[in-house]
A and B are shown apart, each in its own frame.
Chain A
């Protein structure tokens, strides 16, 4: 009898086992939903799949009766725009300051304590300040995402830069590289795949800050919509929206991983494919 730590499911077995929890969750939902609807056909807490389908068609494929817009599309575009700006800006600042701190002691000494202090501020606590300073428009939402995830990216990139073997930097100096040439040719290309990893890991927090900001002050966006229809207990809209946000987040994570494998084969080659 082989030990359980040595027993491997087959390829199809793995696939089936992976789906199993989802199937169970779905069955539990259907049973619970049916039970509640049998008791009260107007129950809103666990809607039937028919009402989900109706809500999806209403939100996604019919123009809104009030404004003539496709709400789901509109919300998605607004949210994605804010998220991309926030994450893109954070990644850029994170790369510049992280690599700078990692490579230049005279930059690290003044900046590193500041970054640590900022990273300890709970971003949601200063959201009111952001609304006061930047107004209720797009800027304050983007700034919230940046304040929330940028310090994490900076600190991660700084650590990754420190982790580069000192032998490499010495070798680059004996090859005649200036500080700038070494940063551009030796450090940055090796940090880029790690930046993508840092972005993937902080995407979840970025969504959190985006939805929080939209819930409080916005006129469109996925988070705005969820919190709006909550007033009518419209679970038939909320749940598909949550599913849609999850799908978007998964798609972003997956594409970032593919981009990294495509652009930095040397990085993933040495990691033995263990980086997912």
Chain B
């Protein structure tokens, strides 16, 4: 068996509950390298909890998530890159410094361990790598600007560049384009689609926008509660009710219709 045939992520009977309140239940899934998973579902359906479990900021109540067949670190680490809707770039650094930071957080260089900075040759290398990535996301002109001088779309490009410099095994996107204007969102779709294909990334993207999920994803997960107890709504959690393989590039209109035909309640 070659490595590419083993799943990069294995989710085994995952449950998450807070006291009596069950948020997620019975999730069993495998994800292979290079997949782009779009995650949709109504608000309060545990999408964010799921992302936090993937990130490591929360731990499963039962079951486990395996990355490359080993349990995930119980805290955020370099294997998992993240782009939030906002606040994920550092306002006190220029775009270039924001991207270089990932390289400057090194465990081997003395100056980095002591001050979080590289010096000399290593710093020059980091700068070159960072410039190359800024170039890829179309920000080389803005390398010396602070985030407050960048538009919302450019800030998200920067956040993506920043996450990519560590070459994460999986890239998590938490409604990354939710706060952007429609026109800019379209550019961003193009960018993320292109990066995904060029760099063979494995992506998990939470979105409110169903058509965005269809457009970008190679696979679509729908989080929903199938069991309901009207007297105690917290008794049952959400799980993945649909796991739909998509052919990317198409707008997914037919599939959208098909999904709507099943009377699925997606906000």
> When the two chains form the complex, which single residue of B55, B78, B92 contacts A189, counting CB atoms closer than 8 Å?
B92
Contact of A167 with B115 at beta-carbon distance under 8 Å, contacts A174-B76, A174-B77, A175-B105 already known: no
Residues 66-91 of B, flagged 1 when their CB comes within 8 A of A and 0 if not, give: 00000000011110111010111111
Q: B91 to A171, Cβ gap below 8 A? A: no
Residues of B within 8 A of A170 (CB): 55, 57, 76, 82, 84
Q: B77 to A176, Cβ gap below 8 A? A: yes
Determine how close the nearest CB of chain A comes to the CB of B246; give it in whole angstroms.
27
Whether B6 is near chain A, meaning CB under 8 Å from some CB there, is no
Q: Tell me the bound Cα distance from A168 to B86 in angstroms.
A: 9
Q: How large is the interface on A (under 10, 10 to 19, 20 to 34, 35 or more residues)?
A: 20 to 34
Q: B92 to A171, Cβ gap below 8 A? A: no
Residues of A within 8 A of B148 (CB): 266, 269-270
Q: B91 to A175, Cβ gap below 8 A? A: no
Residues of B within 8 A of A173 (CB): 75-77
Q: How large is the interface on B (under 10, 10 to 19, 20 to 34, 35 or more residues)?
A: 35 or more
Whether B38 is near chain A, meaning CB under 8 Å from some CB there, is no
Determine how close the nearest CB of chain B comes to the CB of A183; give it in whole angstroms.
9
Whether A6 is near chain B, meaning CB under 8 Å from some CB there, is no
Whether A258 is near chain B, meaning CB under 8 Å from some CB there, is no
Determine how close the nearest CB of chain A comes to the CB of B118; give it in whole angstroms.
11
CB contacts between A and B, total, < 8 Å: 92
Residues 90-108 of B, flagged 1 when their CB comes within 8 A of A and 0 if not, give: 1111000000011011110
Q: A171 to B78, Cβ gap below 8 A? A: no
Residues of A within 8 A of B115 (CB): 184
Residues of A within 8 A of B82 (CB): 170-171, 174
Whether B166 is near chain A, meaning CB under 8 Å from some CB there, is yes
Whether B168 is near chain A, meaning CB under 8 Å from some CB there, is yes
Whether B149 is near chain A, meaning CB under 8 Å from some CB there, is yes
Closest to A185 in B: B116
Residues of B within 8 A of A266 (CB): 91-93, 146-148
Q: A267 to B116, Cβ gap below 8 A? A: no
- A28-70 residues with Cβ-Cβ distance < 8 A to B are none
Whether B117 is near chain A, meaning CB under 8 Å from some CB there, is yes
> When the two chains form the complex, which single residue of B86, B102, B107 contacts A167, counting CB atoms closer than 8 Å?
B86
Determine how close the nearest CB of chain A comes to the CB of B57; give it in whole angstroms.
6
Q: Tell me the bound Cα distance from A171 to B101 in angstroms.
A: 11
Q: Tell me the bound Cα distance from A135 to B117 in angstroms.
A: 45
Residues of A within 8 A of B78 (CB): 174-176
Whether B203 is near chain A, meaning CB under 8 Å from some CB there, is no
Q: B101 to A185, Cβ gap below 8 A? A: yes
Q: A185 to B102, Cβ gap below 8 A? A: no
Residues of A within 8 A of B102 (CB): 175-176
Whether B28 is near chain A, meaning CB under 8 Å from some CB there, is no
Q: B162 to A168, Cβ gap below 8 A? A: no
Residues of B within 8 A of A165 (CB): 87
Residues 164-194 of A, flagged 1 when their CB comes within 8 A of B and 0 if not, give: 0101101111111110111011100110000
- Chosen A-B contacts, 6 in total, with CB atoms closer than 8 Å, are A170-B82, A171-B89, A182-B116, A190-B90, A190-B91, A270-B148
